A and B are shown apart, each in its own frame.
Chain A
């Protein structure tokens, strides 16, 4: 049994204009000590997935269906007090912007000690000692001084290290990291990711790394999920996804990397943009931007096809796995080429 099981998660936001489905039928698992990456564009639902695990989705968001199981216990129906004892204790979270994450009017020491005291009966002295120990683990120089300093007195990289230290304070089983390096300088990014990798390996801590950066994912994670418009569209070992992506979207993402473009030519873009969650196309949400779409893509949401070690939600891949022919052409009822409508192919004149 996996340490963390997310099954058919359905998260919605009740807005004035109607309901927005932020996550549809999202499922994945995490074994103890495993490192999973969740990749996708902004708005794909990655952060929502992360927050939902710790049940931190604020109204008007709510879990409409599915379940989250952690170490055998169902999380999403847990009482608030019980959930509180899991947060920071067995599952920790790291956010994106280290400046905004730390409370500007409290000292570092205060913010670390309170975390320890919230979950264990422990004296301030002992808590301080543990905090110092963790600060050493993340290679913070002169940790004694840091405890009495305020966040604005430290650099961005140091703040993020401290946040990682806080995440590790209670020796959690899983760390959920929501774009932990996006707000940092490129040079610091590498350091932080290395640190995270080192610590997770050393203490056998599971990691869910949410990012839009494929480079980071390939460096750190063992398995990867690709999300699009609230759904998981491809899952599998990171190596395989990077080297041999099956879903047209993932292929587009990888092709869009600057390294994949030939020098002097334009970068390869995926045409169009991800739909807003209120206007998701019928069938496969990616069909307006997909070069391989056929009629069935406009009608049916694809189920997962198993290809190698990966699961891919794509009709074409499904057909190829089954050995069938696939014509990437959209036709209307009479078999003629259908004219573009809002629902599918939209030309982008550049």
Chain B
């Protein structure tokens, strides 16, 4: 276990190092702290002097080490736009993104396993075919389009008048297919302050209501992916000899499906899930843009438009940290579930 953690730590350090170099390079080349601190009236010569004083003309290595040192203490400079420490700005926006991601992940976990297993056990059932059919569409629709469609359907509302509205059956069908909208599609709603910079939307009905459409949008790509993955893996696992042997032993089908088969199915799913975390972060940027959800992704995008370099750098570093932590967690979980992986260094 210790060896595993140490290895992961070294890997984490390597990744963070790479990210920090990139971030610093961006900062060095694009960022200009002087811009924020001086007005037009300061002459070029004075700027040079100030640059020297601030150490902006020092060699690359020195500047990088300074940057890294500051970063480790949580100091990433001040945001040009917010005029506040970049770290603070990010931490203020972090909870929103975290809550969104948590809600989506909940949806994905709770739905993908049962549906995937069902579709694997009864592949010819009409329900299975329906799920698989919609999942192909789900994968093909980019996350921001799903968000837009959801907004149109549930926030704005759609009135359908395909059928003649002067007949009862026509108007009933029209009514069934139309939606009223009314769901919130902007922002987070009412928030409750929990601790530090964390204001949560989980504790108010309004907050939760605001969470629904964005969470569904974010889950809309990953859910079909996992359903298909679980179904495919499960179907392959069900063909293996050990399943046949379990049946030959007279073990009940339920146990075979949900213990013998599922445990083996989950292994590659966990691996793929770990890789998808990166994609999830990218998708949060898209989702937050559509719903104007005040999270890290929206902040990042705005920072790009405003060329707010410190915030861009802060975002990259934060994303790096998140990746490293989640990847380590995923590997840990995988090692615990899969007995053939020697986590604890037990001799065979």
Contact = CB atoms under 8 A, between A and B. Distances in A.
Interface string A62-81: 00000000000000000000
Residue from the set B242, B250, B340 with the largest chain A CB neighbour count within 10 Å: B250
Contacts of A119: 250
A102 B267 CA distance: 17
A115 B242 contact: no
Contacts of B246: 103
B47 interface: no
B15 to A, nearest CB: 30
A228 interface: no
Contact of A84 (B241, B245, B250, B340): B250
Contacts of B337: 105
A88 B248 contact: yes
B338 interface: yes
Q: Which size class do B's interface residues fall under?
A: 20 to 34
Interface in B224-279: 240-242, 244-252, 255, 259-260, 263-264, 267
A114 B263 contact: no
Contact of B249 (A87, A97, A100): A87
Interface of A: 54, 56, 84-89, 92-93, 95-97, 100-107, 114-115, 118-119, 150, 152-153, 163, 166
A101 B247 CA distance: 11
B288 to A, nearest CB: 39
Contacts, number: 74
A233 B247 CA distance: 31
A105 B242 CA distance: 11
A100 B248 contact: no
B249 A118 contact: yes
Nearest to B248: A93
A155 B164 CA distance: 74
Contact of A104 (B244, B250, B255, B339): B339
- Give the 6 A-B CB pairs with smallest separation, nearest first: A88-B250, A88-B249, A87-B250, A100-B241, A93-B248, A103-B242
Given A100-B242, A114-B255, A105 B250 contact: no
B45 interface: no
B282 to A, nearest CB: 32
B260 A95 contact: no
Given A100-B241, A101-B245, A114-B255, A86 B263 contact: no
